[in-house]
Amino acid sequence: MTFAQKLKSMRESLGLSQAEAAALLECGKRTLEHWEAGDRVPLAITQEGAFARLRLEKRPRKQKGQNYGNDTRGNPNPVRHRQ
């Protein structure tokens, strides 16, 4: 699988538009379009960085109102720890 194919596949699996993916990767939308079309191929280090950022995007993010640890703000049934 080429860089172009893998990049496009990862972007689509995340449900990102090209504009959203470009913002995430901190590159221009046209640059991303060229990469996905196979017109341009970035350096290997740039490819690795792009894939790393997309993999991070796959991790679940904290939803609004969801609490972790000792954060009890807005939680009607917070877990209290003994002091």
* pLDDT (tens digit per residue) in 11-48: 999 999 999 999 999 999 999 999 999 999 999 999 99
Superfamily of domain 3-58: lambda repressor-like DNA-binding domains (1.10.260.40)
pLDDT for position 58 = 79
Is this model's pTM higher than 0.85 or not?
no
Read off the pLDDT of residues 4-19 as tens digits, 9 standing for 90 and up. Answer: 999 999 999 999 999 9
Residue 42, number of CB atoms within 10 A of its CB: 16
Query: Considering only CA atoms, which of 51, 74, 52 is closest in space to residue 62?
Result: 74
Domain boundaries, the chain: 3-58
Alpha-carbon span 13 to 39, nearest angstrom: 22
